Amino acid sequence: MSDYKAPVRDMRFVMDEIVGLAEIASLPGYEEATPDMADAILEEAARFTGEVLAPLNRIGDTQGCKLGPDGVITPDGWKQAYKAFCDGGWNGLASPVEFGGQGLPETFGIAIKEMAASANLSFSLGPMLTGGAVAALLTCASDELKAIYLEKMITGEWTGTMNLTEPQAGSDLALLRSRAEPQADGSYRVFGQKIFITYGDHDMTDNIVHLVLARLPDAPAGVKGISLFLVPKFLVNADGSPGERNDAHCVSIEHKLGIHASPTCVMAFGDHGGAVGYLLGEANRGLEYMFIMMNEARLGVGLQGIAVGERSYQQALGYARERKQGRDAVTGEALVTLEHHPDIRRMLMLMKSRIEACRAITYYTAGLLDRAHAGTDPEQKKRDLFLAEFLIPIVKGGGTEMGIDVTSLGIQIHGGMGFIEETGAAQHWRDSRITTIYEGTTGIQANDLIFRKLMRDQGATAKVVFAEVYATAKALADSGKPELQAIGQRLNAALKAWREVSEWLAANTKNAVSGVLTAAVPYLNIAVAVCGGWMMGKAALAAVARLDQGEGDPRFYRNKIATTRFYADQMLPQAEAWAQTVMARDLAIKDIGNDLFD
Amino acid sequence: MSDYKAPVRDMRFVMDEIVGLAEIASLPGYEEATPDMADAILEEAARFTGEVLAPLNRIGDTQGCKLGPDGVITPDGWKQAYKAFCDGGWNGLASPVEFGGQGLPETFGIAIKEMAASANLSFSLGPMLTGGAVAALLTCASDELKAIYLEKMITGEWTGTMNLTEPQAGSDLALLRSRAEPQADGSYRVFGQKIFITYGDHDMTDNIVHLVLARLPDAPAGVKGISLFLVPKFLVNADGSPGERNDAHCVSIEHKLGIHASPTCVMAFGDHGGAVGYLLGEANRGLEYMFIMMNEARLGVGLQGIAVGERSYQQALGYARERKQGRDAVTGEALVTLEHHPDIRRMLMLMKSRIEACRAITYYTAGLLDRAHAGTDPEQKKRDLFLAEFLIPIVKGGGTEMGIDVTSLGIQIHGGMGFIEETGAAQHWRDSRITTIYEGTTGIQANDLIFRKLMRDQGATAKVVFAEVYATAKALADSGKPELQAIGQRLNAALKAWREVSEWLAANTKNAVSGVLTAAVPYLNIAVAVCGGWMMGKAALAAVARLDQGEGDPRFYRNKIATTRFYADQMLPQAEAWAQTVMARDLAIKDIGNDLFD
């Protein structure tokens, strides 16, 4: 069993030194986001997540959810924790003040979300999905629908869901079959079955707001004929209270590898005459609206990899500091704790450095979204948005793949005890395994990075990133400090590899599309490694500056520099290897058809 | 749910073209190991494992084992399957004829073991542990003990266990506390608790033979004071039948992440007056005897990574050939099966090529053990044994880490369905997770490779391996065929990296031990990648030769060449990256103490 203590110091360091919290707090609307406010909120969130959510994590894993005659039953303690979560105002932290939110920047929101997901990933998925639905309503709901639903969802009184997948339509949403029939009163009747619906039903709130992708009768085929509907579990009375039960039901829940306490529902819409639904925005633009939410959702899922990784790291570190086994290889001291052993230290440092690198990329991206939202210069806002969108597949793909690797190391550090479920280390690994799949697989992130984010502006945004990474590498080289120069050299070599393969891809996407697609995930791996190095490079530069100024805890800054160098030594050389793989594309297999595997 | 069809064709290819079955069949005692015999045995084993063991795999996962008042109860079908396994003669395939085995070379045995572990890893662990115990008895038991126990264990009438770990003594066996008191009749009374004892109890046989590490009263401290004892569950009557119940009891079983149907027992010896035991071999040499078995056990666990990987690959391939989703990126054809998508093909090829590379290393090592056992030239036998021992940590570390990676890809290919337990893809990943831990963690394999296998003869065996790899790379380069030359170039570059870091390590093990230990696993990764490339290079050369001769199925050989090139493009560049990491050693963290993680 493990405790969770939010890494507030590292979060604040990233917010202050890499994201630029002070600058974001100077943007219109974010004036409350002061350093003092950050201290207060992060400390309180750390207390709440550590004391209330974290102890439920293992209970959730062992009990899971059950489907009773009246719907899904969440594990013991879930209802109370959810109420406390909403009462604390955590649900609407970064939502607009006009609908009951607190209007704080996402730079704050992201840290709170990390804490919640670290403490209890299954729990955190409910608020995360609600947040996605809120974003969709803010984007495309009519004022009338906003007035009925938004405040209740932002306070958490009601939760939200996203209904995309159908049995025949997973990654390929063109295959959606759910349909919506217009009614005389302007509403619709929705029919269809949706699968993998997170928190599609539960017993924590008295209503649930489903957002459902479906086709209108006259809709074109494919992805351009999909509309978005709001389908509440209970129709809403004129006074805002839940009324008649709608024809939207959870008919079964899945038995999953992980996140047992997050109900994954098969939802039947319209099996008893039709589910009442309301069109959101314009007809046939549903997928577009979903993609607006998708960026936020993907940032959130990338964060989950970091969050579960952090939890696993804390538990592994705790074990390594407690468990005595073996002799110190250097001093010869008998029976030392595991953390003395170089290979255990290697694994702990690999966990720590990869988590910190991904945290920095993710928070930096959240900061860009804040700047894009509240900035004052339209050109700069556009640039920040493009930069954020460029980084999002890197955050999602990189954070989640890292999460699986790191939680596996968390098991390994425990030795045989790691394989015993009661230890709790295995749960993190099982929980993390969904993150590279939902909200778009790693392959889909890689394609998004290349075909949308890299190509849409002919590499202009990529060039901005390259220039920024180069500036960091140059600052490291110019620092006059050997340890920073060593980092700068590795970063520069990795950046060179990334640039080269980006140019290679640009020249080949048209005439060698299969080869580029084969190379997409290795390309994503390069981007993740380099962006991690870039962020850690910024961190090391900031740490050196603080040390030079004699400010703060020198041990923290010294460790940050060491962690950066460790990351550079372990992760950055791989960028060059993956570059070779990218440029090998599919030459090995391209002339062989589907009998390749015979 | 997945079927399992043993990859007999690839197994035979490896046996014939890489291991040299014909040569092994010419060694004294192995005359029966003809190609015809191989055909017959492999086909029959494929049938048995596919029809009898494979269907029980998921049942075992969902039911698991239970501890009843009379001991451990195995899942439905286990007893019958075990009886059929023994009746078929599979248990003693490679054991000596004089004790009821079939005396076939391990080159055969390894293929049968792979099939059993693919079909049902949990089931296969029982016979594997028995095999380890048999090897120990052959090494160090008195003729009297051999006469009582060996034949029954080789036929499978009784099973065997290995009792090493204690709560305070995992990787560090110096901490063992179990003790043995000599009795007037020459027997001993054994006392102590052992944990993580695989098949420590079960209901499939009427006796179980425990091999137990314990200390004699006058034994020196540490690893030099450990002796090995045979402790039967039931004492054996003069007529060989099981008699009085011995004081060796399973007191609880673990609730584990995977291999649910393999009972992992806490064993209490001597809680009711002392368990009757018999000293095996000489006093205080127990660990030495265990290490003799350990090589075989590690080879077997490396094989498990391959076996579970193969099962996962077959299931993922089946799904990719069935599930339709998305448009073909090259032809534009709508709604194609997953195997058309380049990223799915990348993942399938990565699975296939890494499995085949590890299979070839493992079988090659088994062949070396056969040559070392039955060869006629003492010098060559010694060289073959050293070579096998050098390769064993590479097989163990490489096969098991590969197994985890590959079964994770197996989930990924299934998308959301991979996360649903009923699909069965997740079980392979969960089952594989123990393999990098038991029989020595990956870190321990890496240390074994460097400090024992690389250093014990001042790198002489490593130089033999380097020369062999070089010869393969040169043959590829000299082939005149561009696809082979491309493989040869990558192999040569990776070999160069391996050589350089080996020399670097040799120069630094004494004065920078902490750095070398930090670099050990990255070093192991290099060895695995290069040895995989070496074996696949041999495979590609053989395939080209067969194609040139117009023999066999050209599709199989063409695919083998493509698979080799794919492996070379994806895996071999990483050797150069890890070489950079090795030589960075622990410079980032070496001056920081245990506050590194604060």
Confidence of residue A112 (pLDDT cuts 50, 70, 90): very high
Min Cα separation B473/chain A (Å): 18
Note the pLDDT tens digit of each residue in B401-443: 999 999 999 999 999 999 999 999 999 999 999 999 999 999 9
Which one-letter amino acid corresponds to residue A548?
D
Q: Classify burial at A84, counting beta carbons within 10 Å of its beta carbon; exposed 0-12, middle 13-18, buried 19 or more.
A: middle
B5 reaches A (C-beta below 8 A): no
Rounded mean pLDDT of A42-51?
A: 98
Q: B188-198 and B264-269: which strand pairing?
A: antiparallel
Query: Class of the A156-285 domain?
Result: mainly beta
| Confidence check: pLDDT of A518 > 70 | yes
Residue of chain A whose Cα is closest to the Cα of B429: A430
What is the full DSSP assignment across B134-198? HHHHHHH--HHHHHHHHHHHHHTSSEEEEE--BTTBSS-GGG---EEEE-TTS-EEEEEEEEEEE
pLDDT of residue A294: 85
Min Cα separation A314/chain B (Å): 10
pLDDT of residue A372: 97
CA distance B543 to B558: 7
Confidence of residue A2 (pLDDT cuts 50, 70, 90): low
Rounded mean pLDDT of B64-68?
A: 98
- Residue B588 contacts residue A562 (beta carbons within 8 Å): yes
Residue found by looking up tokens 């995309």 in the block: A164
Find the distance separating the first CA and the last CA of chain A, reported in whole Å. Answer: 46
Rounded mean pLDDT of B268-277?
A: 98
Note the pLDDT tens digit of each residue in A555-586: 999 999 999 999 999 999 999 999 999 999 99
Q: How far is CA A334 from CA A53, A326, B226, B596, in A?
A: 39, 7, 18, 21
- Residue A391 contacts residue A531 (beta carbons within 8 Å): yes
Which one-letter amino acid corresponds to residue A221?
A
Note if B439 is an active site residue: yes
| Confidence check: pLDDT of A1 > 80 | no
- On chain B, the residues whose CB falls within 8 A of the CB of A349 are 588-589, 596
Min Cα separation B310/chain A (Å): 12
- Residue B360 contacts residue B533 (beta carbons within 8 Å): no
CA diameter of chain B: 84
Grouping H, G, I as helix, E, B as strand and the rest as coil, residue B321 is: helix
Lowest mean pLDDT among A322-331, B8-17, B50-59: A322-331
CA distance B201 to B208: 7
Min Cα separation B77/chain A (Å): 24
CA distance B94 to B115: 15
Q: What's the gap between Cα B289 and its chain centre?
A: 19
Note the pLDDT tens digit of each residue in B293-338: 888 899 999 999 999 999 999 999 999 999 999 999 989 999 999 9
User: pLDDT over 70 for what percent of chain B?
Assistant: 100
Q: List B residues 215-244 in contact with A (Cβ-Cβ < 8 A).
A: none
Sign of CA dihedral B275, B279, B284, B287: negative
Q: Classify burial at B233, counting beta carbons within 10 Å of its beta carbon; exposed 0-12, middle 13-18, buried 19 or more.
A: buried
Min Cα separation A75/chain B (Å): 19
Grouping H, G, I as helix, E, B as strand and the rest as coil, residue A274 is: coil
What is the full DSSP assignment across B515-526? HHHHTHHHHHHH
Identify the CATH number of the domain defined by range A8-65+74-154.
Answer: 1.10.540.10
Determine whether the interchain pair B343/A518 forms a contact, defined as Cβ–Cβ distance below 8 Å: yes
Show the tokens assigned to A142: 């009519």
Show the tokens assigned to B36: 């015809």
- Residue B203 contacts residue B74 (beta carbons within 8 Å): yes
Q: Nearest CB to A255: which of B421, B566, B578?
A: B421
Grouping H, G, I as helix, E, B as strand and the rest as coil, residue B324 is: strand
Show the tokens assigned to B201: 């109890």
CA diameter of chain A: 84
Confidence of residue B390 (pLDDT cuts 50, 70, 90): very high
Q: Nearest CB to A404: which of B327, B408, B588?
A: B408
CA distance A498 to A528: 10
| Confidence check: pLDDT of B504 > 60 | yes
Q: Which of B439, B468, B503, B551 is catalytic?
A: B439
Q: How far is CA A349 from CA A412, A414, A487, B455, in A?
A: 14, 15, 16, 27
Rounded mean pLDDT of A585-589?
A: 94
Q: What's the gap between Cα A171 and its chain centre?
A: 18
Residues 6+ apart with CB under 8 A from B571: B353, B354, B357, B529, B532, B533
Q: List A residues 65-94 in contact with B (Cβ-Cβ < 8 A).
A: none
Mean pLDDT of all residues in chain B? 96
CATH topology of domain B158-288: Butyryl-CoA Dehydrogenase, subunit A; domain 2 (2.40.110)
Residue found by looking up tokens 């957002």 in the block: A211
Confidence of residue A291 (pLDDT cuts 50, 70, 90): confident
Residue of chain B whose Cα is closest to the Cα of A519: B343
The domain spans of chain B are 8-64+75-154, 158-288, 457-589
Determine whether the interchain pair B419/A256 forms a contact, defined as Cβ–Cβ distance below 8 Å: yes
CA distance B221 to B223: 7
Determine whether the interchain pair B325/A574 forms a contact, defined as Cβ–Cβ distance below 8 Å: no
Grouping H, G, I as helix, E, B as strand and the rest as coil, residue A212 is: strand
Determine whether the interchain pair B422/A175 forms a contact, defined as Cβ–Cβ distance below 8 Å: no
- Residue A164 contacts residue A173 (beta carbons within 8 Å): yes
Rounded mean pLDDT of B122-129?
A: 97
| Confidence check: pLDDT of B1 > 80 | no
Determine whether the interchain pair B514/A330 forms a contact, defined as Cβ–Cβ distance below 8 Å: yes
B197 reaches A (C-beta below 8 A): no
pLDDT of residue A135: 94
- On chain B, the residues whose CB falls within 8 A of the CB of A558 are 592
What is the full DSSP assignment across B274-315? -EEEEEESSTT-HHHHHHHHHHHHHHHHHHHHHHHHHHHHHH
B578 reaches A (C-beta below 8 A): yes
Min Cα separation A94/chain B (Å): 30
Q: Nearest CB to A573: which of B330, B521, B580?
A: B580
CA distance B442 to B448: 10
Q: B234-236 and B71-73: which strand pairing?
A: unpaired
- Residue A263 contacts residue A72 (beta carbons within 8 Å): yes
Show the tokens assigned to B381: 């036998």
CA distance A283 to A140: 11
Q: Phi and psi for A231 in degrees, rounded to 5?
A: -130, 105
| Confidence check: pLDDT of A322 > 60 | yes
Residue of chain B whose Cα is closest to the Cα of A427: B257
pLDDT of residue B293: 82
Buried-exposed string A105-125: b where 16+ CB fall within 10 A, e elsewhere? bbbbbbbbbbbbbbbbbbbbb
Q: Nearest to residue B127, comparing CAs of B165, B171, B78, B61?
A: B78
Determine whether the interchain pair A517/B341 forms a contact, defined as Cβ–Cβ distance below 8 Å: yes
- Residue A240 contacts residue A148 (beta carbons within 8 Å): yes
- On chain A, the residues whose CB falls within 8 A of the CB of B165 are 416
Predicted-complex ipTM score: 0.98
B581 reaches A (C-beta below 8 A): yes
User: pLDDT over 90 for what percent of chain A?
Assistant: 95
Q: What's the gap between Cα B142 and its chain centre?
A: 28
Q: Nearest to residue B154, comparing CAs of B104, B215, B219, B222?
A: B104
Helices (H), B414-481: 425-432, 442-447, 460-477
Helices (H), A185-228: none
Min Cα separation A565/chain B (Å): 5
| Confidence check: pLDDT of B218 > 80 | yes
A481 reaches B (C-beta below 8 A): no
Note the pLDDT tens digit of each residue in B458-469: 999 999 999 999
B394 DSSP β-pair partners: none
Rounded mean pLDDT of B210-233?
A: 97
Determine whether the interchain pair B586/A171 forms a contact, defined as Cβ–Cβ distance below 8 Å: no
Rounded mean pLDDT of A531-540?
A: 98
pLDDT of residue A579: 98
Cα A105–A361–A435 angle (5° rounding)?
95
- On chain B, the residues whose CB falls within 8 A of the CB of A578 are 573
Q: Between chain A and chain B, how many beta carbons pairs sit less than 8 Å apart?
A: 256
Determine whether the interchain pair A596/B345 forms a contact, defined as Cβ–Cβ distance below 8 Å: yes
Determine whether the interchain pair B588/A258 forms a contact, defined as Cβ–Cβ distance below 8 Å: no
pLDDT of residue A573: 98
Determine whether the interchain pair B349/A589 forms a contact, defined as Cβ–Cβ distance below 8 Å: yes
Cα B396–B401–B404 angle (5° rounding)?
130
Note the pLDDT tens digit of each residue in B153-185: 999 999 999 999 999 998 889 999 999 999 999
Min Cα separation B476/chain A (Å): 15
Residue of chain B whose Cα is closest to the Cα of A522: B570
| Confidence check: pLDDT of B150 > 70 | yes
Q: List B residues 304-363 in contact with A (Cβ-Cβ < 8 A).
A: 317, 321, 324-327, 329-330, 335, 339-349, 352
Rounded mean pLDDT of A88-105?
A: 94
Residues 6+ apart with CB under 8 A from B366: B19, B105, B106, B107, B109, B110, B299
- Residue B9 contacts residue B76 (beta carbons within 8 Å): no
Cα A498–A502–A507 angle (5° rounding)?
155
- On chain B, the residues whose CB falls within 8 A of the CB of A426 are 257, 433
CATH 3.40.50.1220 fits B8-64+75-154, yes or no: no
A403 reaches B (C-beta below 8 A): no
B478 reaches A (C-beta below 8 A): no
Q: How far is CA B295 from CA A557, B288, B385, in A?
A: 45, 11, 11
Grouping H, G, I as helix, E, B as strand and the rest as coil, residue B114 is: helix
Grouping H, G, I as helix, E, B as strand and the rest as coil, residue A258 is: coil
pLDDT of residue B2: 66
Show the tokens assigned to B270: 């001597």
User: pLDDT over 70 for what percent of chain A?
Assistant: 100
Determine whether the interchain pair A577/B574 forms a contact, defined as Cβ–Cβ distance below 8 Å: yes
CA distance A141 to A149: 10
Cα A419–A421–A423 angle (5° rounding)?
85
- On chain A, the residues whose CB falls within 8 A of the CB of B437 are 411-412, 415-416, 418-419
pLDDT of residue B431: 98
Q: How far is CA B224 from CA A307, B179, B289, B292, in A?
A: 45, 14, 12, 15
Mean pLDDT of all residues in chain A? 96
Exposure on the CB side of residue B536, measured as CA atoms within 13 A: 34
